[in-house]
Amino acid sequence: MIQYKTREEIEIMRHSCLMVGKAHAEAAKILKPGITTMAVNNIVETYILDNGGKLSFKNYNGFPYATCISMNAAVVHGFPGEQILIEGDVISLDIGVFKNGFHGDSAYTYAIGEVGEEIMQLLRVTKASLYAGIQKARQGNRIGDIANAIQEYTEKKHGYGVVRELVGHGVGRNMHEDPQVPNYGKKGTGAKLKAGMVLAIEPMINLGVKEVVHLEDGWTVLTKDGKVSAHFEHDVCITKSVPDILSSFVEIEAAEQANPNLTWSYGAISPQEAQVPKISAT
């Protein structure tokens, strides 16, 4: 059952969503070769707890950490640990915050040092596809319109693999709510979008094939061919007019650009080239 939020609830929820972006930015400040993924997880956990939030992911269905940290061929749900980041790694962080009764959920993928143009293109296209999907997140459209926009841009235009087994979702008082939001599909299909719905839209796009495999830890998902995957996610409220992005990449991108150990993933593809006007996060 889809849970519709009031305007007042949306404003309360926005605080949780924005805190996720700030937690990402704290991580982005310290990402560099030589640091462990557990150190990154600990920075995120400390920031959330110190600022009055709770950890949406830790102990959720048994997941043991505050942050999903997925490196290189890991698509999602990777465990932080003693892995040491090196030049050329690609690392996605998926972070959740629970505060004042609502969850915020956002993912972002980072390039450690020089990773090569082929991979940077994947990151830029995946991020642009998120905005392509958001542009279709309008009252009267359907879930399939969001899904199709992402698939058309990533798979049809650029030839990347769109993961089928993993999807976006509704978000609110629960971390995962109806409806599911795939990154592939047909226009005009699926649940109708109505004001008050909040969706976590999250393209998970592979450099190679769309197929994935699951590790024995029961969580980590890898690309079947071992090629890199990218993951970006925003929380988006359906309104009677334009989509309202509750989460934000503003502080993340500022930290990303300021960190000499990271390569900024947005720039070579402009919103105009992607035919996706970038929507304000405010």
Residue 143 lies in a domain: yes
How far CA 58 is from CA of 20, 48, 68, in Å, comes to 14, 12, 9
Residue 258 lies in a domain: yes
Residue 119 lies in a domain: yes
> What is residue 203's predicted lDDT score, i.e. its pLDDT?
98
Residue 90 lies in a domain: yes
Among residues 105, 114, 75, the alpha carbon closest in space to that of 91 is found at 75
> What is residue 274's predicted lDDT score, i.e. its pLDDT?
37
> What is residue 282's predicted lDDT score, i.e. its pLDDT?
27
Q: For 221-230, what is each residue's pLDDT tens digit?
A: 999 999 999 9
How far CA 161 is from CA of 30, 51, 281, in Å, comes to 30, 38, 28
Residue 273 lies in a domain: no
Q: Indicate whether 279 pLDDT > 50.
A: no
Residue 39 lies in a domain: yes
Q: Domain containing 216 — which CATH number?
A: 3.90.230.10
Count of domains observed in the chain: 1
Q: Domain of 118?
A: 7-263
Among residues 125, 122, 127, the alpha carbon closest in space to that of 72 is found at 122
pLDDT-derived band at 264 (thresholds 50, 70, 90) equals: confident
CB atoms within 10 A of CB 164: 13
